[in-house]
Each structure stands twice: as C-alpha cells, then as structure tokens.
Amino acid sequence: MRAENAGEAFFWHTQMGFVVIPGSKNVDHIRDNLDILDFRLTEEEMTEIAKLDKGERYYHRTDEQLAGFAAWRPAFETK
C-alpha cells in the first residue's frame, strides 16, 4: 500500500509520536487508516514532509474559548 497525500501526513504525524484521530465516513478510508501499523515512511520521506513545516499554528486558543469548551455538554447529557 502507498499512501496518498492525506495518508502520508497521517503516517508522518504517527511516526513522529503524535496521536492522530482520523475521521471518515468512507469505509475504504477507515480500513486504510487501520493499516497504519503495516506502513512506514522512509527517512527521506519523513525529512521531505518535515520541510513543509512553516512553524505556523492554525488554532489559537483563547481563555474564552477554553471556558466554552469546558462548559459544553452534548444534548444526550442534558436530559
């Protein structure tokens, strides 16, 4: 199996030791994600992907957002 772009990013994060929680409604994609233990990127691939890091965060948490997340309860918990 060779990963496509999203799969390569998924594998890179996992090999770097990050916890990755993929989401998909596509059964084939879910099945592919479960095959993660059978797949490794080469050192060269890892290095090339790491070069894409621009050091920019896409999520900037504020105290107000954190309070909102902490207070949020799914509908099934409010009954």
Where do the domains of the chain lie? 5-74
Q: pLDDT for 12-58, tens place per residue?
A: 888 888 888 777 888 888 777 777 667 788 999 889 988 988 888 77
Q: What is the pTM of this model?
A: 0.49
Calpha distance 6→37 (Å, rounded):
16
**C-beta of residue 46 within 8 angstroms of C-beta of residue 12:** yes
